[in-house]
C-alpha cells in the first residue's frame, strides 16, 4: 500500500491523506512523474502521532483544516519553499495544533522567525504565514540595485513583518481569556467530566499561552520597540508568583524549569523580586530547579538589592541558601 493518498490536479499532485500515522513525515517532491503542489483540505486531519512534516518546494497551496487537530504536531518544515513563492494558506489549517512550535522556511535568515511564525498561527494571524519578505521581486525589482540596497529592502520587509507580529500579539493579549470557550450543556460543575471542561481551566491555559508568546518575543527581540517591550514586561510582571494569576511563573515551572533565559526575562520584567523571592525559592525547591538555576535567580535579585545608602541589602546568599540543606 502506498504511504500517501493522492490525486492528479491541473497543477500536479494533491496529497489528500496518509495511510500511516508516523511521527516524522516527508512529502516527496514528485509522484508519478508529477510535482506535488498541494496539500488538500483535511489531508492530515487528526493525525495525532505526527510531530514533524516536511513539504516539497513545489507546494503552492495548503487547504482548509489540512493539519487540524494534529495534536502532536510540533514542526512544519518548508525546505526548498521560498517565501517569495506565495504558498496559499487555507482556513484553520492549524486548528487545535496546541503543540506547534516552529514553521520554518529554508531561507529564513532571522533566528527565531520559525518560532514566531508558529506563534502567529496560534494567535490567528494567518497573514504572517509567509509575509516576511515579499521578494517575488528578487528578479525584477532587484535589477539595477546594489547589494546594499537589496539588503536594506530585505531588512525593511523583515521589520514590517515583525511590526505586524507585535501588533497581533498586542491584540491577542487584550482579548478576553474566555474567548473561544464553548461551554458544555450541564446542570452544574459536578456534571463536567474533568477540570479541563471548566471555564477557569480554559482561562488559565489561555493566559499561559499569552505569557508564552511574551517570553518568545522577548527572547527573539530583534527590532522590538521600547513601548512594546514594556507592554510584554507588564503582562509577565502581573502574572508572576504571588499575583492574582501566576501563569507567567507557571510557564517557567512547567515548561522551562532549567532554562536561564526565561528566569532572566521574568526578572527583567520585574516578576522576580525581593517581594516574592521566598515563594519562588520554595516553588523551585519543590520542582527541582537545580542548584545552578537557583544560584542564578539569587544572584539576579541580590545584584539589585542595594539600599538608598548604597550598602549591600542582600536578602540571602547562595551559600546561606544551600547551607540550609546540609544535614
Q: Is residue 180 part of a domain?
A: no
Same domain for 132 and 227? no
Quick one: pLDDT at residue 2?
74
Tell whether 139 and 218 lie within a shared domain: no
pLDDT of residue 180: 87
Q: Are residues 165 and 279 in the same domain?
A: no
> Which residue range forms the structural domain that includes residue 289?
207-323
Residue 31 included in any domain: yes
Please report the pLDDT score of residue 293 as a whole number: 96
Confirm whether 319 is domain-assigned: yes
- Max alpha carbon distance in the chain (Å)? 79
Cα 82 from Cα 16, distance rounded (Å): 23
- Shared-domain flag, residues 10 and 118: yes
d(CA 201, CA 207): 10
Confidence at residue 184, expressed as pLDDT on a 0 to 100 scale: 59
Look up the CATH number of the domain holding residue 25: 3.80.10.10
Q: pLDDT value at position 189?
A: 53
The domain tally of the chain equals: 2
Q: Has residue 192 been placed in a domain?
A: no
Contact present, 208 and 251 (Cβ < 8 Å):
yes
Residues 240 and 115 in one domain: no
Q: Which three cell numbers stand for residue 171?
A: 491584540
Residue 198, in any domain of the structure:
no
DSSP helix/strand/coil, 30: strand
9 & 68 share domain? yes
pLDDT at 181 (0 to 100): 86
197 within some domain: no
Kindly state whether residues 212 and 169 are assigned to the same domain: no
User: Do residues 55 and 4 lie in contact, with contact meaning Cβ atoms separated by under 8 Å?
Assistant: no
Residues 164 and 28 in one domain: yes
Angle 226-227-229 from CA coordinates, rounded to 5°: 65
Same domain, 153 and 219: no
Give, for all 327 residues of the chain, the pLDDT tens digit.
478 999 999 989 999 998 777 899 999 999 999 999 999 999 999 999 999 999 998 898 999 999 999 999 999 998 765 555 568 899 999 999 999 999 998 877 778 999 999 999 999 999 898 756 543 344 445 556 777 876 788 888 889 999 999 999 999 999 999 998 877 554 555 555 667 778 999 999 999 999 999 999 999 999 999 999 999 999 999 999 999 999 999 999 999 999 999 999 999 999 999 999 999 999 999 999 999 999 999 999 988 654 333 343 445 555 555 554 444
Is 153 in the same domain as 55? yes
Last residue of a domain, one of 153, 173, 193: 173
Q: Are residues 169 and 211 in the same domain?
A: no
Residue 199 domain-assigned (yes or no): no
Cα-Cα-Cα-Cα dihedral sign, residues 25, 29, 34, 39: positive
pLDDT at 327: 43
161 shares its domain with 222: no
Amino acid at each position: 500500500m502506498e504511504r500517501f493518498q493522492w490525486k492528479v490536479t491541473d497543477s500536479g499532485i494533491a496529497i489528500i491523506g496518509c495511510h500511516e500515522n508516523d511521527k516524522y513525515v516527508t512529502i516527496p517532491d514528485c509522484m508519478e512523474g508529477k510535482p506535488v503542489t498541494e496539500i488538500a483540505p483535511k489531508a492530515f486531519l487528526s493525525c495525532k502521532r505526527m510531530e514533524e512534516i516536511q513539504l516539497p518546494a513545489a507546494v503552492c497551496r495548503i487547504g482548509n483544516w489540512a493539519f487540524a487537530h494534529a495534536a502532536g504536531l510540533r514542526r512544519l518544515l518548508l525546505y526548498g519553499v521560498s517565501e517569495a513563492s506565495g504558498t496559499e494558506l487555507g482556513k484553520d489549517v492549524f486548528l487545535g495544533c496546541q503543540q506547534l512550535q516552529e514553521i520554518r522556511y529554508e531561507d529564513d535568515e532571522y533566528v527565531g522567525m520559525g518560532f514566531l511564525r508558529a506563534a502567529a498561527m496560534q494567535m490567528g494571524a494567518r497573514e504572517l504565514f509567509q509575509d516576511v519578505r515579499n521578494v517575488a521581486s528578487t528578479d525584477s525589482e532587484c535589477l539595477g540595485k546594489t547589494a546594499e540596497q537589496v539588503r536594506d529592502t530585505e531588512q525593511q520587509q523583515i521589520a514590517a513583518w515583525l511590526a505586524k507580529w507585535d501588533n497581533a500579539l498586542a491584540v491577542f493579549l487584550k482579548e478576553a481569556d474566555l474567548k473561544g470557550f464553548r461551554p458544555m450543556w450541564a446542570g452544574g460543575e459536578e456534571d463536567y467530566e474533568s477540570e479541563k471542561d471548566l471555564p477557569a481551566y480554559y482561562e488559565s491555559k489561555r493566559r499561559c499561552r499569552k505569557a508564552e508568546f511574551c517570553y518568545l518575543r522577548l527572547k527573539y527581540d530583534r527590532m522590538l520597540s521600547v513601548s512594546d517591550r514594556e507592554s510584554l514586561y507588564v503582562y509577565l510582571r502581573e502574572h508572576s508568583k504571588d499575583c492574582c494569576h501566576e501563569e507567567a511563573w507557571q510557564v517557567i515551572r512547567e515548561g522551562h524549569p532549567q532554562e536561564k533565559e526565561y528566569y532572566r526575562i521574568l526578572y527583567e520584567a520585574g516578576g522576580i523580586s525581593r517581594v516574592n523571592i521566598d515563594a519562588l525559592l520554595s516553588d523551585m525547591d519543590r520542582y527541582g530547579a537545580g542548584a545552578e538555576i537557583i544560584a542564578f535567580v539569587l544572584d539576579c535579585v541580590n545584584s539589585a538589592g542595594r539600599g538608598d545608602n548604597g550598602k549591600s541589602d542582600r536578602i540571602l546568599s547562595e551559600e546561606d541558601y544551600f547551607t540550609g540543606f546540609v544535614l
